[in-house]
Amino acid sequence: DADVTQTPRNRITKTGKRIMLECSQTKGHDRMYWYRQDPGLGLRLIYYSFDVKDINKGEISDGYSVSRQAQAKFSLSLESAIPNQTALYFCATSDRTGLAGGNEQFFGPGTRLTVL
């Protein structure tokens, strides 16, 4: 089984709808992240969380919110989806100790979201 899973894998929705993307991990890592990927732009950080009680905005948090329900679960919500939120969304995890691998991050399979 994959260490980092994301659901759904694909989603098509309409403008104005509320959408939740879910991420679960079995790696035992404390840190979790949400990125979005757009063609030609690389990955950009939306939110990150170092533990259940620690949530931080990233570079492009406007229009998004997150919830860290447990150490292993980190959800991303689009309260009112708009077309320019069409993108590939990745969840990632890393180990807070960072000793051996620095801040090496491990990525989920991604969720392809289309907002019409």
Partner 1 sequence: ELKVEQNPLFLSMQEGKNYTIYCNYSTTSDRLYWYRQDPGKSLESLFVLLSNGAVKQEGRLMASLDTKARLSTLHITAAVHDLSATYFCAVDIRYALNFGKGTSLLVTP
Strands 87-94 and 106-107, how do they pair?
antiparallel
Is 10 a binder of partner 1 (CB under 8 A)?
Answer: no
Is 74 a binder of partner 1 (CB under 8 A)?
Answer: no
Neighbour count for residue 99 (Cβ, 10 Å): 7
Size of the site for partner 1 (CB under 8 A): 23
Is 69 a binder of partner 1 (CB under 8 A)?
Answer: no
Q: Annotate each residue in 42-61 with x if it binds partner 1 (CB under 8 A) or - if it does not, as one string.
A: xxxx--x-x-----x-x---
Identify the CA nearest to 108 among candidates 31, 7, 40: 7
Query: In sequence order, which residues have a C-beta less than 8 Å from that of residue 50 and are 6 or more positions away?
Result: 30, 31, 56, 96
- Residues forming contacts to partner 1 in the complex (CB under 8 A) are 33, 35, 40-45, 48, 50, 56, 58, 90, 101-110
